[in-house]
Structure 1
Amino acid sequence: MKAVSIAMATFNGTRYIGEQLESLRQQTFLPAELVVCDDRSSDDTIAKIEVFAKTAPFPVRIYVNEVRLGFRGNFMKAAHLCCSDLIAFCDQDDHWYPEKLSRCVEVFQDESILLVHHEARIVQAGKILSDRLDLLLDKNPVVEQLRSRPWLNPCGFTMVFQASLKKYESFWQSSIDLYHLNEKDTHDGWYFFLATSLGRTAFIEQSLADYRQHGSNAYGWNNRRARTMSERLTCLISNRSERLRAPAITARCRRDIFRRALSEPGQSGPDTIALQRAERCWSQLEKFCSLRLRVYENQTILLRLEACLKLLRLGAYSATASWDYGKKAGLRDLALGVVLSSFTRRYGTRLSGVDQEGNSGTGAIPA
């Protein structure tokens, strides 16, 4: 099987780092190395890692950043420094089951798989809150290129990916986080975006780690099942033009990343074909997002109807496109966008940001 590097980002993680490191020691398939990038911790996180490194059954390389990079940049640096064919992201506060790496690495016997992710339990203070992450990702064992939901990604600690994807890491600087437009993409969002855009991904239904919740998580667990009826109604009538602007901007950014990648010298062969297909699909998605924004932003009903009908002709509400909104979204756009747009703009300002709930369409563009 291929060798795997573990890319760990740390920052003031002394409370749980010991347990996490021990779970790495107990792996039935040992990593080729553990690469730790510390974001200038002020506690004894580094001291604990150094003690672990003396007896670890694999090499441990520790880097302390000269300036704080934040979790995005810290994880990206850790991945950059990894030397193996495969890379596994690792948080400082979770717990890996012994068979995690072996189960993930064996998937890559299929050379066409660019990334694999797995299920995990949600744990808080030793209590199991959920036996699964409850993410709205495609849970098929294998997902073909450009068939995964474009705006969603698994948690980084569940991912192992081909190091060949690092060839595009220079483009990360121009990426955008859909949910925080002033930030670059998250490390897990970035590599899942690349993997799903350029090739096949895989999913392991078995839980292979505990996702620890403790109040200081960079991103905690979002229990969608706990939403009240009032919250769901608010989501339905929220100011949809505001929620649709971010996907339009992000899709344009991702389209441009692939255009720039295609303009790089020496592009040829299968990589070029994959890049071309990704550029076409993200271009189409950018067009869909921009048109849908017009459904809610245009001041006259005729212009809103024209945008909605154009989306219909382009296949945005059916399965004829790589990503589609689904039929329910078409009816919603007709009702809330074309007919009731002024109402949603006036009374739908309670919910800000992009709805992460998705929809019933095959591509799950935010509805």
Structure 2
Amino acid sequence: MSPHVSILMSTYNGEAFLAEQIDSILKQSHRELELLIRDDGSRDGTLALVERYAHKDGRVRWLAEDNLGVTRSFFRLLGLARDTSAYYALCDQDDYWLRNKLRRAVATLERCPSDVPAMYFSRLRIVDENLRPSRQTRVPALFCLENALVENFATGCTIVLNRAARDLVLRNLPRECCMHDWWIYLLVLSKGRVFYDAYAGILYRQHGRNSVGYDRHLGRRLVQAARRLLAREVSRFDVYTQIVNFLEFARREGLPDEIVRLCEDVLRSRHSIAARLGLVLRNGGVIWQANPRGTIEQIRYLVSGALG
């Protein structure tokens, strides 16, 4: 019998594209699934649409609760999902899943012992609001904790966890973090196994109302990042707070001393660009090597302390 997968979707005023997304999930070639939808306080026709799907297909379950925001909503969904599922897939409301997306994730995770926390994530095919393709996201250069502390490669809507990884996250919910996917990526990378798939199984719809979007143009990303930093939205200080929480996790879970020291070094370098540059160099340049084109995450990491 195929392993059961709980697909976890958080909705918020998502009526425009939600039907296409739900249809693509229910047509997955991996049939042993349920779709658990938590509505985060929608004011459009989202709830009525979800209720119609739940009435037609018993694999769809839903509940409506007060607004928590996307990060807390997904952590809440992880806790609400059935404990007996083998895998847990995070899902956005406005994308489109290709038919074998889930089957590939399950086949990959099946290679890992069930008691080892494991996470799958994949490349994305960027499309417009009418699902016309434009490009694919770049393939990450490497996966290591040195880089993961300052940059997240794992886009939430592609993440699938095994039960051990889900339990690890639920035991270690943070007081604060930048985003749920980044926190999950850090935890599983440090305690288990992370699998990346260069196959883009999701059409990642960009329509101007995304909670988090993707822009390949470096100039526009620089401008957007500068605005966020000056407005103190999603700033590097959020990352430092996340690292404080991760350091507590590392000590609590008994992670190796070198991981604890790395976190401590990053936190000590908060107010010094020179110290941060030295930290990069002392780690063999591994953070910078992950982004040879000098992408925005590294630029923000190096300049952020000066903005405080």
Query: Aligned equivalents of 1:74 and 1:244: distance in 2?
Result: 23
Determine which of 249, 252, 257 is the counterpart of 2:249. 257
Q: How does 1:1-367 map onto structure 2 within 5 Å?
A: 1-56=2-57, 59-65=59-65, 67-83=66-82, 84-111=85-112, 112=116, 114-126=118-130, 128=132, 130-134=134-138, 137-138=140-141, 146=145, 149-150=148-149, 151-167=151-167, 168-177=169-178, 186-223=179-216, 225-227=217-219, 247-260=239-252, 262=253, 275-277=254-256, 280-293=257-270, 295-296=272-273, 316-319=280-283, 324-326=286-288, 356-358=296-298, 366-367=301-302
Deviation at 1:226, TM superposition (A): 4.2
Whether contact under 8 Å (1:146, 1:199) holds in the other structure is no
Question: Quick check: which has more Rg, 1 or 2?
Answer: 1
Structure 1 consecutive aligned stretches of length 4 or more whose deviation exceeds 6 Å:
228-231
SS in 2 for 1:40: coil
SS in 2 for 1:174: coil
SS in 2 for 1:317: helix
The RMSD of aligned alpha carbons is: 3.5
Deviation at 1:59, TM superposition (A): 1.9
Equivalent AA in structure 1 for residue 33 of structure 2: A
Whether contact under 8 Å (2:128, 2:134) holds in the other structure is no
Query: Aligned equivalents of 1:325 and 1:114: distance in 2?
Result: 23
Equivalent AA in structure 2 for residue 254 of structure 1: F
Query: Aligned equivalents of 1:282 and 1:46: distance in 2?
Result: 44
Whether contact under 8 Å (1:37, 1:64) holds in the other structure is yes
Deviation at 1:192, TM superposition (A): 1.3
Deviations 1:197-225 (A, max 9, x none): 112111111110111111111111132x3
The count of residues paired between Structure 1 and Structure 2 equals: 285
SS in 1 for 2:298: coil
Query: For structure 2, which runs of at least 5 residues remain unmatched after alignment?
Result: 303-308
Instruction: Choose 88-97 or 243-252, whichever is displaced more.
Output: 243-252
Deviations 1:60-93 (A, max 9, x none): 211111x211111211111211121211011111
Q: TM-score, normalised by structure 1?
A: 0.67
Query: Aligned equivalents of 1:290 and 1:74: distance in 2?
Result: 28
Query: For structure 1, which runs of at least 5 residues remain unmatched after alignment?
Result: 178-185, 263-274, 297-303, 330-354, 360-364
- Change beyond 3 A, Cα 1:324–1:91: same
- Change beyond 3 A, Cα 1:228–1:102: closer
Deviation at 1:327, TM superposition (A): 8.6
Deviations 1:290-345 (A, max 9, x none): 4434544xxxxxxx6xx58xx86xx751556xx8445999xxxxxxxxxxxxxxxx
2:306 is matched with none
Identity %: 24
SS in 2 for 1:357: helix
- Change beyond 3 A, Cα 1:327–1:172: closer
1:265 is matched with none
- Change beyond 3 A, Cα 1:97–1:175: same
- Change beyond 3 A, Cα 1:149–1:258: closer
Bigger RCO of structures 1 and 2 (CA < 8 A, at least 6 apart): 2
Deviation at 1:131, TM superposition (A): 2.3
Whether contact under 8 Å (1:146, 1:197) holds in the other structure is yes
- Change beyond 3 A, Cα 1:318–1:101: same
Query: Aligned equivalents of 2:221 and 2:12: distance in 1?
Result: 38
Equivalent AA in structure 2 for residue 357 of structure 1: E
Deviations 1:20-40 (A, max 9, x none): 111012100024211110112
